[in-house]
Structure formats: structure tokens, C-alpha cells
Amino acid sequence: MREKYFPKEIEAKWQQHWADNHTFEVKPDDSRQKFYCLEMLPYPSGRIHMGHVRNYSIGDALAWYKRMRGFNVLHPMGWDAFGLPAENAAIDNNAQPETWTLNNIDHMRAQLKKMGIGYDWTREIASCLPDYYKWNQWFFIKMFERGLLYKKRSLVNWCPECNTVLANEQAEGGVCWRHTSTAVIQKELDQWFIRLTNYAQELLDGTYELEGGWPERVLTMQRDWIGRSEGARVNFKVKDSDAVITIFTTRIDTIYGANAIVLAPEHILIETLMEDSPLHDKVIEFATRLKNEDKIERTSADAKKEGIYTGRVAINPFNGAKLPIWIANFILMEYGTGAIMSVPGHDQRDFDFSTEYGLPIQQVIAPLDENGEPAVFGEMKEAFTGSGVLVNSAEWDGLPWPIANEKMTAFALSQKFGEGTVHYRIRDWGISRQRYWGTPIPIVYCDHCGIMTVPEDQLPVELPKNVVITGKGGSPLAQVPEFVNTTCLKCNRPARRETDTMDTFVDSSWYYFRYCDPKNDKAPFDKSKTDYWLPVDQYIGGIEHAVLHLIYTRFWSKMMRDLGLCDFNEPIHRLLTQGMVCMYADKVGRVVKMSKSLGNVIDPDDMISAFGADTTRLFALFAAPPEKDLDWNEKGVEGGFRFLARAYRLVWKWHAQMPQAKQTAAQSSELTPAQRKLQRKTHQTIKRITENFEDRMHFNTMISALMELVNEAYDFDTQLGDKAPCGTTVAIMREALESLALMLAPFAPHAAEEMWEGLGHQGGILSGALWPTFDADLARDDELEIPVQVNGKLRSRVRVSADVDEESLKQAAFADEKVKAATAGKEVVKIIVVPKKLINIVVKG
RNA sequence: GCGAAAGUGGCGAAAUUGGUAUACGCACCAGACUUAGGAUCUGGCGGGGAAACCCGUGGGGGUUCGAGUCCCCCCUUUCGCACCA
């Protein structure tokens, strides 16, 4: 230990120590409880940013704590290394995506090591390497064999910036998830889809299993995304035709109020219906125009309702009413059946549509008035969507909503013109990407034998190198004859390979399984290893993956479970979604997320050079609780540095006496008040921090508790002056400083190690399970200052012994001058005593 | 529009089940040490007032002995969803 706190020197020293001692490298060990601490793996964009620093500081704090509590902690790191930026860099810099990516990984790995994050680097993975993506292909084949994958020509989201297709989850709100200012357009393409919808119900049910462990916000977003709705399908016969139109509704109880059947412009029955119709050309022209309109605009909530009457009529199976068949812009082909019954009285969209075209509006649901009678409105000004009972609905009149729905659905089933059904909003996951830098899809097309998967023993289908990437004109792999041309695996005649690559979200769906067995070349992983480590105990990452990665990976593990590769339903027990790192930006005049384009970026490297990794990490944890956005403030960083230097100086001042100190302090009754005070603070701090790690993980308050302990220890030290300390004093100080060093380790591990060593300990903090324990008796206050209220207002405080009984406390309160003054001449109505907290005297007059 | 979360000093934030509002840090002020300090140490720091005391957690009501915390209404901000039948 040196006199002054030199983070650079200390950090290099301990990083070397951890590497030499393989401190963070772990193996399954049945004798110890495991803890899997995982941070979302980064995309190797080139440099670490503050968001990463925050993410990994949180994860490492927890990992250190758990290790110190004796857990066998798996804390790995890897790279989500496929993806578009590598291709763009290749175009811009004339580099190969692989070279660019691997160089970035090298640089970022070095940065993470400089931060001293405790990863088991022997388990590092990079998804762009064949020994990883081989298993993506293996999973593809398994899913193909089980019918979980299919190829379909369909309208898909296309991002003109990415020049590729996007999954629905990646095109939320009609914009690309990477290019949020770029509207996604619709294209018709052949695509590989994973049957995410097979697991829709299970994914929904799982969100209830995850309650408590996952933020409610994320669960809500996932539930909304899955979008389960219960309803019914009802068949409407078309008059003078054999055609039947099936509609989906969640409100079959309102069917007597239907005034039309409305179809999406893409509906397949339109052509049939319009055959021989004098309106044929007009209607088809209308539908074609809508189909060609921008989908996002056409289907946005504020688009004007627009429709056309087809001249055809459908029959309401409940009452035989003749309903005109319309086509309208607001009906979506991909939801339900692409056809609805319009019920203007009880659906605002139908109301607006009917008003626009003068269709009749009838009320069929009536709220109950104060006499319990159904209230029938005169003219309706808007749709009534509240609850009530049926009216104008023949024999169903008087039934309340949920019962009517049930009974009418049952009736439809019995009459064979409808049935109850559940509909989900979530769609299958389109994974084809018309890009180069991704996992090749292991499929071969033969003109004679059709579509076939590449046999397992021929995996991986390697991504060819030195491919010319222009960013234009379809899949780059299609331009590589050596890759495309192959022979049919069945008939040996010339055949072609699939030239699309997989969505990179495939890579990240199972990477944390691979960390458990990263070098396995026989299987994606050995189940005995994942059985030990998984599920993940704590996952930490940004909220932006709430419906992307976090839904895909839940699906993936359910699929793996069905393949017999794991035994659990949910792969991630607890999830922490950390807030963004923000800073004031001149360009917008307020505190916003750090971004290069706004110029409000701090480079972690600069921070580390100026203050050290410990200070940088400490501040990232101290400035705000982890799930909140964090305001980066350089002055605040200095405060973090001062705290570490202050703690360090105190340890320096005392470290020489430590080897001679008594191991345990005297009985607390024999301590001076000052000694007792520091001892109490030490034990209180251990209690606070330990409990906080176990439930709330608010690192900011844990660090402030450590600051308080340091302040208290300084006061103690200052009071001693130049007097030579007695053995008890040294023992009390030793306990305080050792506790401090140990509890600092999760937040500032290098400085903590240096202090721990300075206090006379060899081998490093993690050579044992050293998390300090507190003694509840020693943490307890001997004396308390109890606030005294009169009529709820604070009037005074009284000092009493901690074990005071109610009666003496009351006496002490009434003995107080200020309390006397406030209660003088008044009748005491009531005295409320909250043990150890407060006394409130209620007076009258 | 629907849904969720939040609003506390000059600033970042504490207050875990209703019980001393503002812990801890930053900034600021005063002092000590110093050739000097952007180092370190000591003290102060919500508003009003000489004081007693009064006021104070976005605004207004309510429940309670007692409300930052619970309930109702409103305002603002952020986030999510948005013609999903």
C-alpha cells in the first residue's frame, strides 16, 4: 500500500492479480449454490459507451456480492457480432465485415478489462464465428423437422435503410427499430418464419409466472404485444351466392346491432363477390387503390374512414337481417379474419364509418338507470362502449354482457354458423434477412427434389469470405456462385443454397446457454452443464428489448424444452431494466440520452484515464437507482473520487497498526461512547447494505451508507487527536475499516482489494467468502431521540434509553418544557405511542 | 384517445409496512492549514422571522392522532400501445 491513492497503479495491479489467479473463472460445483449473473451481450460497434459501463457495473456489483456470500457465480461476456453495421462499415471503409467486427471485439474486450469487470473470459463467445452459428443452423434444422419453421410468400416489413426485411417486433409502430425515423414499407417476399404463434398462450401465461421477478412494465408490454382476445367467429351467408364470409368479433352480443359487413381491401372473397357485378370495375379499382396506399398511413388511427359498397348483401344468421357488404380502409387483413360486422352503436370506428356513409345506427346495449331499468338513448352521438344489458335483440333482451356473450356464442355453435375462438395479435417470426453478415440458412433447393435441410454432419454451412458488399440489390450471397451452387443431397443434381441469412435475434436467443459450455463441438451445450447454471438468476439490460429479444428468448427456451434440451419454462428468473445514461445537450437545451449526434457524450476511456475505473463505476452506481435514468455530471464524478481517496487515506493512516490489533473488541458495555458509536455504525451499515442487496438493489443508497460509515470513522479519528490509541480503539477501527473495504468491493473492487491488503490480508478478497456479518445487538441504538408531537405537530424531542417502556416514555415527554407549554391548560384526549419511533399527544381546548 | 410510471432544496437524489421530510453527494458560503490551491480539514446550507414560531414534498379536496407515502379530482412530464374488431 502506498500513501496516496493512485487508481491507475492499483487497478493495473489487481487486474493482473485476478487474471493470474483465475479469480473469475468458474466450474459447476454441486457442493455450492450457483448464481448466474448475466448482462445483455453487446454489439461490437467499436467502443464501449456509458450505457455499457452502467450495465456492467450493476452486474459486477451483484456478482461480487454473491461471490462474497459464497455463491458459485457465473458471470460471462460475449459479442452479438453479426449485424448490419459491420456491412455498412465494409461499404464505407472497404473493409471486410469479419475483420471490422473482430477488431472491434479486441478493442472492446480490452476496454472491459481496463474497467476491471469480473468476467470469466474463458467462456467468451462471438456469434459471428462458425463454432457458434453452426448451432443456429442446428436449431433451424430441429425446428424445421418439428414443423416450427415454414416458408411463405407474404407481405413483410422492409426497411429501406437496412435494405432488408424486419420482423414485426422490429418494426413496431411502422418504423425500423434501428432507424427510428425511417418508415417501414411493405414488400411481398418469400420468407422463412418461425411459429412463434404456437407458443402465444404459453408466452402469455409465463408473464404471470414472472411477476415479482420482472418489471411489471415489461410484462405489460409483452402481454399487449401477445394481444390475446377472446371472441367468436361468425359465418354470414352471402345472398344469392354460395359464398360465406367469416367475421371475428369480441362482442357477438351486439350482433343485432350490426348494420353492415366490412371487408379488408385484401380480402380474398372480393373477386368472387364482384363476379358479373356491374360495380365490378369500380370496386376492384377502389380495393386496388387502398392496397397500394401506404399501409402505415392507411391504417393509422386518424386516417379518415373510407369505404365502398359492393352491391352484395349478407344475411345475419341470428335474425336474417340483410346487411350490405362494404370494403373499407380501416379493416386489417392480418387481424382476425379480415372481415368484421359493423356495430355502430357500440364501436366508435363503426360509428364513424356509418355516420360517414349514412348507415343506420341502432342501440343494442343499454346501461341500467337508477331504477335498474335499461336506458335507451334517443339519437346516439357516439358509440356506447360501457356495460349494460341487451335491448332490441329479440329473445336475448335483458341479458347482461358477459352472459349474453357466452350464451350467444353457444347458440352460434349449436346452429353451426359460428364458434368461440381466441385470437392473438402476435405473429410468426420472420427470420430471413437479405444481408450478408449473418448466419447462413442451412437450406438447399433442388428443382427435382424440392426444399431440404443440410444434414447435421455437414454443418456449419460457412459464410463465404471476401464477398463484395454493395448494400444494394438483394442478398449479397446470391452473388457468390461458389456458395450458391451445390448439389442436391438426394439426387446429386445441381442445386442452389438459400442465400438469405438469419435475423441476428436468433443468435441472442440462446447465447447464455452457450456460455455454460462454450467450446462444445458435439452439441449446442451439454445439458448437465446448463442444468447446473440455468435459469439465469439475474439478467440486466435496457428496456428497449422488452418485446424483441426478451420475447424471442422466452420462446426459444420453451422450444428447447420441447426438444428435451432443458427442463424449465422460463429461462430468466429476475430482470432488471436499467435506465439510460443522460447528459445535458446544448443542441436541445436539456438533459437527454447521450448520443453522438447531440454531442453530449462522455467517453468511458477518458473517465478512466482521469479518475480510474473504480470512480467511474462507483459514480455510475451512485448517481441514481439502477432502473432510473442517470444524469451524468462530472462534478459528481469528482465527489466519487474524493470518497475513494478519503477512505483510502483513512486506511493508510491506520494500516500499520492493524497486524497488532486485537481480533475482537471488548464487550460493548465496556466501550467508551465514541467507540460504541463507531461500532454501532459499522454494524448498522453492514445490515443496511446486506438487506439492500437482497431485496432492492439500490446501489446509490448502499454507497451513501458507506460514505456515512467513512464520515463516522473520520469523526472518531479526529476526536482521538494525537493520542496513541488503546487496543480497544484499534480493534473498533479495524472492524470499521475491514467492513468498509469488504463492502466497497462490489462497487470499487480495485480500491477495495488494495485497502483489504493494506489492512493486513493476503490473497485477495475473493480467496474466501468474506462478506461481513452484522450483530443485531451491536447495531441497535442504546439511546433514542423520540420526537414528541402535540396534535400531530412536532414540538420537541426526548432522549430515552432504547428499551424504555411506554409509561416512562410518556413521563419523559410530559416532563419536556416545550411539551408542557403546548399542552398547558388543555385536556389530553389520547396519547399515541409508536414504539421506538414517536409519541403523539392529542389535546382538546 | 387508452394504459402505466413519475413530479421532493440551486442540482443528482433519500425517506423499505402511513410515524422526526430533505440522508448521501454536488454546487454554494464562512473559517483553518498553506507561497499557492481546482488538495485537505472544520462549520453552515428549504422559505419566512429578531425570536417564539409559522409555512413547506406539482395544485385542490378527503381519510387519519398523524400523509411525500392511502383515496378522489386536476395539472405537467416521461414511457408504452394506438382503426387489433
Q: How many angstroms is C1' of B42 away from CA of A50?
A: 36
Q: What is the average pLDDT across A314-323?
A: 96
The reply to whether A692 Cβ lies less than 7 angstroms from strand B is: yes
In tens, the pLDDT along A782-823 reads 888 899 999 888 888 888 888 888 888 888 888 888 888 888
Query: Is the per-residue pLDDT at A660 higher than 70?
Result: no
The reply to whether A4 Cβ lies less than 7 angstroms from strand B is: no
User: According to the model, what pLDDT value does residue A525 have?
Assistant: 98
Record the pTM.
0.93
The reply to whether A291 Cβ lies less than 7 angstroms from strand B is: no
HEC string of A31-65 equals: CCCEEEEEECCCCCCCCCCHHHHHHHHHHHHHHHH
Q: What is the average pLDDT across A576-604?
A: 87
Poorest-pLDDT segment among A94-108, A366-380, A675-689: A366-380
**Of A41, A141, A162, whose CA–CA distance to A437 is shortest?**
A162
Q: How many angstroms is C1' of B52 away from CA of A796?
A: 14
In tens, the pLDDT along A427-474 reads 899 999 988 999 999 999 999 999 999 999 999 999 999 888 877 767
The reply to whether A675 Cβ lies less than 7 angstroms from strand B is: no
Q: How many CA atoms lie within 13 A of A326 on its CB side?
A: 26
User: According to the model, what pLDDT value does residue A358 have?
Assistant: 93
User: According to the model, what pLDDT value does residue A131 have?
Assistant: 97
Determine the nucleotide nearest to A638 by Cα–C1' distance.
Answer: B26
The reply to whether A91 Cβ lies less than 7 angstroms from strand B is: no
Determine the nucleotide nearest to A174 by Cα–C1' distance.
Answer: B82
User: According to the model, what pLDDT value does residue A707 have?
Assistant: 97
In tens, the pLDDT along A592-636 reads 888 888 888 899 999 999 999 999 999 999 999 999 999 898 889
Query: Is the per-residue pLDDT at A781 higher than 70?
Result: yes
3-state secondary structure (DSSP) of residue A146: coil
Q: Give the pLDDT band of residue A666 (cuts 50, 70, 90).
A: low
A416-419 own/partner pairs: CB under 8 Å, 24+ apart: A417/A234, A417/A235, A417/A317, A418/A232, A418/A233, A418/A234, A418/A235, A418/A252, A418/A317, A419/A232, A419/A233
Determine the nucleotide nearest to A231 by Cα–C1' distance.
Answer: B85
Give the ranges where A347-388 is alpha helix by DSSP (H). Answer: 348-357
User: According to the model, what pLDDT value does residue A662 have?
Assistant: 63
User: According to the model, what pLDDT value does residue A384 have?
Assistant: 87
With beta carbons less than 8 A apart as the criterion, state whether A538 and A37 touch.
yes
The reply to whether A300 Cβ lies less than 7 angstroms from strand B is: yes
The reply to whether A619 Cβ lies less than 7 angstroms from strand B is: no
Per the structure, the residues numbered 315 to 344 in protein chain A that have their CB within 7 angstroms of any atom of strand B are 329-333, 335-336, 338, 340
Average pLDDT, chain A: 91
Determine the nucleotide nearest to A579 by Cα–C1' distance.
Answer: B79
Q: Which has the higher per-residue pLDDT, A316 or A664?
A: A316
**Of A764, A825, A805, A799, whose CA–CA distance to A67 is shortest?**
A764
Q: How many angstroms is C1' of B17 away from CA of A84?
A: 50
User: According to the model, what pLDDT value does residue A165 have?
Assistant: 80
Q: How many angstroms is C1' of B33 away from CA of A60?
A: 40
Q: Give the pLDDT band of residue A564 (cuts 50, 70, 90).
A: very high
The reply to whether A198 Cβ lies less than 7 angstroms from strand B is: no
DSSP state of A580: P
Q: Which nucleotides of B are covered by protein (CB under 7 A)?
A: 3-5, 11-16, 19-21, 23-27, 39-42, 53-55, 65-67, 79-85
Q: If you search the block for the grid coordinates 483513512, which residue do you land on?
A: A650
Q: What is the average pLDDT across A274-303?
A: 86
Q: Give the pLDDT band of residue A772 (cuts 50, 70, 90).
A: very high
Q: At what angle do helices A727-744 and A673-695 cross, to 10 degrees?
A: 20
Q: Give the pLDDT band of residue A373 (cuts 50, 70, 90).
A: confident
Q: How many angstroms is C1' of B76 away from CA of A588?
A: 19
Q: Give the pLDDT band of residue A49 (cuts 50, 70, 90).
A: very high
Q: Which has the higher per-residue pLDDT, A410 or A656?
A: A410
The reply to whether A701 Cβ lies less than 7 angstroms from strand B is: yes
The reply to whether A251 Cβ lies less than 7 angstroms from strand B is: yes
Q: What is the average pLDDT across A754-775?
A: 94
The Cα–Cα gap between A556 and A550 comes to: 10
Residue A485 has phi, psi (to 5 degrees) of: -80, 125
DSSP state of A393: S
User: According to the model, what pLDDT value does residue A845 have?
Assistant: 67
Q: Which of A296-305, A320-329, A332-341 has the highest mean pLDDT?
A: A320-329
In tens, the pLDDT along A178-230 reads 777 777 777 778 889 999 999 999 999 999 999 889 998 899 999 999 999 99
Helix (H) or strand (E) holding A67: helix A50-68
